[in-house]
Amino acid sequence: MDFNDICLKTREAVGKAVEYIEYQHENRSNLEVEAKGRQNYVTVVDREAERILVAKLGEIIPEAGFIAEEGTSSRKGRIYNWIIDPIDGTTNFIHGVPPFAVSVALAENDEVVSGVIYEFGLREYFYSWKGGGAWMNGKPISVSKVASVKDALIATGFPYTNFDYLTEFMNSMRWFMKHSHGLRRMGSAATDIAYVACGRYDGFYEYGLNAWDIAAGILILKEAGGAASDFKGQDNYLFGGKLICSNGLIQEEFVNAVNRIMETE
């Protein structure tokens, strides 16, 4: 399968969802919001954008299944599955605060082979396909050259459903505030990872994540020269909920710091 061509067609499909979301964002005064849980919201825009994506992506690989946040389709494919977050950063979208993004990845036997992220605030497309490098709006991107956590700008995200490690997480934030170049929290994991991929951030960590939050971003990051792991430095991050990613140069130090402070199983 030509993953370059798949990535191009995926960007076209994402573009249809982007058009719809942008229009709704500009006219969101009567936005219908439903609480899926405390601090976890969904809008009619999330659901309709996902429906658009499922329909368009289904035309690209008819036999592929879907892993989608809002459950528009729960059909699993034998080999190929689309991993979709129609709006990563729904709370930001509701309040009109960037960033928020569309994130779409294609997995072949659980290996992500194509990924597209569109971030609305700066109108940036980040995308990659297996072996194809990493790109933003038609230009190649790469990770930063920062070699130490003390010089690194680190991003993180706040949990909104799983508060089991909240004390440890707050301790980790305190540590990075003191021992890194700075700590940021934007509210969109897909955007955070894309920013590591293009060198704006040097690292990102968070727990309580889902595959649709990170799948596209991780491929883009790796193709840009970065590294990713779970909190133990292992590969159980796509479906494991815990992610540490970086430019690669600080990865070992970064993992050791998070693991030491969080001490999670």
Of the chain, the percentage scoring pLDDT greater than 70 comes to: 93
Are 48 and 160 in a shared domain? no
CATH number of domain containing 132? 3.30.540.10
Q: Give the Cβ contact number of residue 123 at 10 Å.
A: 10
Count of alpha carbons within 13 angstroms of residue 171, beta-carbon side: 12
Q: Indicate the residue among 140, 163, 186 that finishes a domain.
A: 140
> In terms of Cα–Cα distance, which of 162, 216, 165 is closest to 189?
216
Pairing of strands 80-88, 111-119: unpaired
Task: Give the containing element (helix H, strand E) for 171.
Answer: helix 166-179
Most confidently modeled range among 66-70, 214-218, 257-261: 214-218
> In total, how many domains does the chain have?
2
User: In terms of pLDDT, which residue wins out, 207 or 35?
Assistant: 207
CATH number of domain containing 170? 3.40.190.80
Residue 44 confidence (pLDDT): 87
In one-letter notation, the amino acid at residue 188 is S
Are 100 and 189 in a shared domain? no
User: In terms of pLDDT, which residue wins out, 263 or 93?
Assistant: 93
Are 100 and 160 in a shared domain? no
CA dist 188 and 88 (Å) reads: 6
Are 86 and 105 in a shared domain? yes
Are 134 and 226 in a shared domain? no
Beta-strand ranges (E) seen in 89-217 are 101-108, 111-119, 124-129, 134-136, 139-140, 153-156, 182-185, 203-207
Given a cut of 50, is residue 91 above it in pLDDT? yes
Given a cut of 50, is residue 250 above it in pLDDT? yes
CA dist 189 and 69 (Å) reads: 14
Which domain, by its residues, includes 60?
A: 3-140
> Residue 182: left (phi > 0), alpha (psi -120 to 50), or beta?
left
Are 118 and 201 in a shared domain? no
Reported as a single tens digit per residue, the pLDDT across 14-71 is 999 999 999 988 887 667 676 655 555 568 899 999 999 999 999 999 999 999 987 7
154: Cβ contacts below 8 Å, ≥ 6 apart: 176, 180, 181, 182, 183, 184, 201, 202, 203, 204, 205, 254
pLDDT bin (cut points 50, 70, 90) of residue 162 is: confident
Are 178 and 197 in a shared domain? yes
Q: Indicate the residue among 85, 114, 140 that finishes a domain.
A: 140
Are 154 and 198 in a shared domain? yes
> In terms of Cα–Cα distance, which of 175, 238, 228 is closest to 204?
228
Are 99 and 10 in a shared domain? yes
Of the chain, the percentage scoring pLDDT greater than 90 comes to: 82
Are 17 and 107 in a shared domain? yes
Are 124 and 235 in a shared domain? no
Q: Indicate the residue among 105, 121, 140 that finishes a domain.
A: 140
Are 135 and 17 in a shared domain? yes
Using only C-alpha atoms, what is the Rg of the chain?
Answer: 17
Q: Are 117 and 191 in contact (CB under 8 A)?
A: yes
Three-class DSSP category at 203: strand
Q: Are 226 and 245 in contact (CB under 8 A)?
A: yes
Q: Are 120 and 167 in contact (CB under 8 A)?
A: no
Inter-CA distances, 92 with 9, 195, 253, Å: 27, 17, 31
Residue 52 confidence (pLDDT): 98
Three-class DSSP category at 68: strand
> In terms of Cα–Cα distance, which of 126, 82, 154 is closest to 218?
126
